[in-house]
Protein backbone atom coordinates (compact mmCIF):
# COMPACT_ATOMS: atom_id res chain seq x y z
CA UNK A 1 0.00 0.00 0.00
CA UNK A 2 1.31 3.44 -0.85
CA UNK A 3 0.37 6.75 0.68
CA UNK A 4 1.05 8.44 3.97
CA UNK A 5 -0.27 7.24 7.28
CA UNK A 6 0.50 10.67 8.68
CA UNK A 7 -2.52 12.26 10.37
CA UNK A 8 -1.95 15.28 8.18
CA UNK A 9 -1.08 14.09 4.66
CA UNK A 10 -0.88 16.36 1.65
CA UNK A 11 -4.28 16.14 -0.05
CA UNK A 12 -4.11 14.74 -3.59
CA UNK A 13 -4.26 17.44 -6.20
CA UNK A 14 -3.91 20.26 -3.71
CA UNK A 15 -1.58 23.17 -4.34
CA UNK A 16 0.61 22.55 -1.31
CA UNK A 17 1.00 20.71 1.96
CA UNK A 18 -1.91 20.66 4.38
CA UNK A 19 -1.69 23.07 7.28
CA UNK A 20 -0.12 21.59 10.42
CA UNK A 21 -2.66 20.77 13.12
CA UNK A 22 -3.12 23.46 15.77
CA UNK A 23 -1.07 22.50 18.83
CA UNK A 24 -2.14 22.41 21.54
CA UNK A 25 -5.89 22.69 21.22
CA UNK A 26 -7.61 24.67 23.93
CA UNK A 27 -9.99 22.43 25.87
CA UNK A 28 -13.68 23.32 26.13
CA UNK A 29 -13.61 23.45 29.96
CA UNK A 30 -12.82 26.90 31.35
CA UNK A 31 -9.40 27.33 32.98
CA UNK A 32 -9.05 28.50 36.59
CA UNK A 33 -8.53 32.14 35.56
CA UNK A 34 -11.80 32.28 33.59
CA UNK A 35 -14.34 34.85 34.74
CA UNK A 36 -18.12 34.98 34.51
CA UNK A 37 -18.86 38.48 33.18
CA UNK A 38 -22.01 40.40 33.97
CA UNK A 39 -24.92 40.14 31.59
CA UNK A 40 -24.54 43.00 29.08
CA UNK A 41 -26.90 45.91 29.94
CA UNK A 42 -28.34 45.75 26.41
CA UNK A 43 -28.78 41.98 26.41
CA UNK A 44 -32.31 40.84 25.53
CA UNK A 45 -34.57 40.85 28.60
CA UNK A 46 -35.03 37.51 30.37
CA UNK A 47 -37.75 35.44 28.71
CA UNK A 48 -37.64 37.34 25.41
CA UNK A 49 -36.63 35.94 22.05
CA UNK A 50 -33.04 36.68 21.09
CA UNK A 51 -33.98 36.86 17.43
CA UNK A 52 -32.18 35.59 14.38
CA UNK A 53 -28.67 36.99 13.80
CA UNK A 54 -29.00 36.41 10.05
CA UNK A 55 -32.15 35.60 8.07
CA UNK A 56 -30.37 32.90 6.02
CA UNK A 57 -28.70 31.16 8.98
CA UNK A 58 -29.33 27.40 8.82
CA UNK A 59 -29.92 27.35 12.58
CA UNK A 60 -32.15 30.38 13.14
CA UNK A 61 -32.87 32.14 9.85
CA UNK A 62 -36.59 32.69 9.19
CA UNK A 63 -35.93 32.75 5.43
CA UNK A 64 -34.01 29.47 5.50
CA UNK A 65 -37.05 27.26 4.97
CA UNK A 66 -35.07 23.99 5.05
CA UNK A 67 -33.21 25.08 8.19
CA UNK A 68 -33.96 24.53 11.85
CA UNK A 69 -35.57 27.99 12.29
CA UNK A 70 -34.80 27.90 16.00
CA UNK A 71 -36.16 30.45 18.37
CA UNK A 72 -33.80 30.99 21.29
CA UNK A 73 -34.89 32.81 24.45
CA UNK A 74 -32.75 34.68 26.93
CA UNK A 75 -32.58 33.36 30.48
CA UNK A 76 -32.19 35.30 33.74
CA UNK A 77 -28.40 35.12 33.76
CA UNK A 78 -25.87 34.09 31.17
CA UNK A 79 -28.15 31.33 29.91
CA UNK A 80 -30.63 30.65 27.13
CA UNK A 81 -33.29 28.08 26.25
CA UNK A 82 -34.54 26.82 22.90
CA UNK A 83 -36.97 24.24 21.61
CA UNK A 84 -36.53 22.18 18.52
CA UNK A 85 -38.99 19.65 17.10
CA UNK A 86 -37.33 16.80 15.20
CA UNK A 87 -38.90 16.46 11.75
CA UNK A 88 -38.76 13.57 9.28
CA UNK A 89 -36.14 15.45 7.21
CA UNK A 90 -33.81 15.39 10.24
CA UNK A 91 -33.58 11.58 10.33
CA UNK A 92 -30.33 9.66 10.59
CA UNK A 93 -31.53 6.18 11.52
CA UNK A 94 -35.16 5.31 10.75
CA UNK A 95 -37.41 7.42 12.93
CA UNK A 96 -34.46 8.93 14.80
CA UNK A 97 -32.73 12.31 14.67
CA UNK A 98 -29.39 12.55 12.88
CA UNK A 99 -26.62 13.29 15.38
CA UNK A 100 -25.23 16.11 13.24
CA UNK A 101 -28.59 17.85 13.26
CA UNK A 102 -28.70 17.64 17.06
CA UNK A 103 -25.20 19.11 17.22
CA UNK A 104 -26.31 21.93 14.92
CA UNK A 105 -29.18 22.70 17.28
CA UNK A 106 -26.72 22.75 20.18
CA UNK A 107 -24.27 24.94 18.22
CA UNK A 108 -27.00 27.45 17.43
CA UNK A 109 -28.22 27.60 21.03
CA UNK A 110 -24.70 27.89 22.45
CA UNK A 111 -23.89 30.58 19.86
CA UNK A 112 -26.87 32.62 21.03
CA UNK A 113 -25.19 33.09 24.42
CA UNK A 114 -22.92 35.61 22.75
CA UNK A 115 -25.88 37.96 22.49
CA UNK A 116 -26.03 38.12 26.29
CA UNK A 117 -22.38 39.21 26.26
CA UNK A 118 -22.98 41.52 23.28
CA UNK A 119 -20.18 40.07 21.28
CA UNK A 120 -19.85 38.32 17.93
CA UNK A 121 -18.15 34.95 18.25
CA UNK A 122 -17.80 31.78 16.19
CA UNK A 123 -17.51 28.16 17.26
CA UNK A 124 -13.88 27.08 17.61
CA UNK A 125 -14.46 23.71 19.24
CA UNK A 126 -17.65 21.84 20.04
CA UNK A 127 -17.83 18.52 21.87
CA UNK A 128 -20.98 16.43 22.20
CA UNK A 129 -22.11 13.38 24.11
CA UNK A 130 -25.08 11.58 22.62
CA UNK A 131 -26.80 10.10 25.65
CA UNK A 132 -30.00 8.66 24.19
CA UNK A 133 -31.66 8.53 20.76
CA UNK A 134 -34.16 11.24 19.88
CA UNK A 135 -37.24 10.03 17.98
CA UNK A 136 -38.79 12.00 15.12
CA UNK A 137 -41.64 14.25 16.33
CA UNK A 138 -40.01 14.73 19.73
CA UNK A 139 -39.46 18.13 21.14
CA UNK A 140 -35.88 18.74 22.27
CA UNK A 141 -35.69 21.30 25.05
CA UNK A 142 -32.21 22.85 25.05
CA UNK A 143 -30.60 24.90 27.76
CA UNK A 144 -27.17 26.49 27.42
CA UNK A 145 -25.05 28.61 29.73
CA UNK A 146 -21.71 30.42 29.79
CA UNK A 147 -19.10 28.69 31.94
CA UNK A 148 -16.32 31.28 31.69
CA UNK A 149 -14.56 33.88 29.59
CA UNK A 150 -10.82 34.46 29.09
CA UNK A 151 -9.95 37.22 26.65
CA UNK A 152 -11.54 36.31 23.29
CA UNK A 153 -12.39 32.78 24.46
CA UNK A 154 -15.94 32.11 25.57
CA UNK A 155 -16.54 28.76 27.23
CA UNK A 156 -20.06 27.35 27.40
CA UNK A 157 -22.06 24.18 27.92
CA UNK A 158 -25.55 22.91 27.26
CA UNK A 159 -27.91 19.98 27.31
CA UNK A 160 -30.93 18.86 25.33
CA UNK A 161 -33.78 17.04 27.05
CA UNK A 162 -36.58 15.13 25.38
CA UNK A 163 -40.10 16.49 25.85
CA UNK A 164 -39.31 19.49 28.07
CA UNK A 165 -37.01 20.91 30.75
CA UNK A 166 -37.59 17.98 33.11
CA UNK A 167 -37.30 15.30 30.41
CA UNK A 168 -34.46 12.80 30.05
CA UNK A 169 -31.15 14.17 28.79
CA UNK A 170 -30.49 13.17 25.17
CA UNK A 171 -27.42 15.27 24.36
CA UNK A 172 -24.79 17.22 26.26
CA UNK A 173 -22.36 19.67 24.69
CA UNK A 174 -19.39 21.81 25.69
CA UNK A 175 -17.92 24.44 23.44
CA UNK A 176 -15.31 27.12 23.02
CA UNK A 177 -16.37 30.16 21.00
CA UNK A 178 -13.84 32.71 19.80
CA UNK A 179 -14.75 36.37 19.61
CA UNK A 180 -14.26 37.83 16.13
CA UNK A 181 -14.53 41.21 14.48
CA UNK A 182 -16.88 42.07 11.65
CA UNK A 183 -13.94 41.53 9.28
CA UNK A 184 -14.15 37.79 9.99
CA UNK A 185 -17.32 37.74 7.92
CA UNK A 186 -16.41 40.37 5.34
CA UNK A 187 -13.04 38.72 4.65
CA UNK A 188 -14.21 35.12 4.37
CA UNK A 189 -17.86 35.24 3.35
CA UNK A 190 -19.08 34.82 -0.24
CA UNK A 191 -19.04 38.37 -1.65
CA UNK A 192 -22.68 38.50 -2.81
CA UNK A 193 -23.93 37.40 0.59
CA UNK A 194 -21.68 39.91 2.37
CA UNK A 195 -22.90 42.68 0.08
CA UNK A 196 -26.53 41.79 0.79
CA UNK A 197 -25.80 41.66 4.53
CA UNK A 198 -24.03 45.05 4.45
CA UNK A 199 -27.01 46.49 2.58
CA UNK A 200 -29.32 45.40 5.39
CA UNK A 201 -29.14 48.40 7.76
CA UNK A 202 -30.51 46.53 10.77
CA UNK A 203 -28.02 43.68 10.51
CA UNK A 204 -25.11 46.02 9.90
CA UNK A 205 -26.07 48.25 12.83
CA UNK A 206 -26.43 45.28 15.11
CA UNK A 207 -23.11 43.78 14.07
CA UNK A 208 -21.26 47.12 14.43
CA UNK A 209 -22.81 47.75 17.82
CA UNK A 210 -20.89 44.77 19.18
CA UNK A 211 -17.62 46.34 18.13
CA UNK A 212 -18.09 49.88 19.35
CA UNK A 213 -19.96 48.94 22.50
CA UNK A 214 -18.38 45.71 23.78
Ligand X SMILES: CCCCCCCC/C=C\CCCCCCCC(=O)SCCNC(=O)CCNC(=O)[C@H](O)C(C)(C)COP(=O)(O)OP(=O)(O)OC[C@H]1O[C@@H](n2cnc3c(N)ncnc32)[C@H](O)[C@@H]1OP(=O)(O)O
Where do contacts with ligand X occur on this chain (CB under 6 A)? 25-26, 53-54, 59, 107-108, 111, 120, 122-125, 152-153, 176, 178, 180, 182, 185-186, 194, 197-198, 203, 207
Nearer to ligand X, 86 or 113 (CB): 113
Min dist CB 88 to ligand X, Å, is 24
Secondary structure (DSSP) of 75-126:
-SSSEEEEEEE--GGGBSSTTBB-HHHHHHHHHHHHHHTHHHHT--EEEEEE
Query: Is the CB of 88 or the CB of 191 nearer to ligand X?
Result: 191
Residue 53 has what DSSP assignment? S
What does the chain come to in residues?
Answer: 214
Q: How far is CA 19 from the centre of its chain?
A: 24
Nearer to ligand X, 34 or 139 (CB): 34
Distance CA 103, CA 124 (A): 14
Instruction: Please report how close the Cβ of residue 137 comes to ligand X at its closest, in angstroms.
Output: 25
**Shortest distance (Å) from residue 41 CB to ligand X:** 19
- Measured from the CB of residue 86, what is the shortest distance to ligand X in angstroms? 19
CA dist., res. 159 & res. 152, Å (int): 23
Which residue, 79 or 108, has its beta carbon nearer to ligand X?
A: 108
Amino acid sequence: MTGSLSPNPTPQGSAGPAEPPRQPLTPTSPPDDAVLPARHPEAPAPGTAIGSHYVHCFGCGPQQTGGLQMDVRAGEGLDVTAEFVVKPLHQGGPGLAHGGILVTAMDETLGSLNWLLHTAAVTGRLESDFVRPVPVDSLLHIRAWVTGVVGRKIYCAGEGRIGGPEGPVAIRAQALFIQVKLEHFTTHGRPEDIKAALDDPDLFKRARAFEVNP
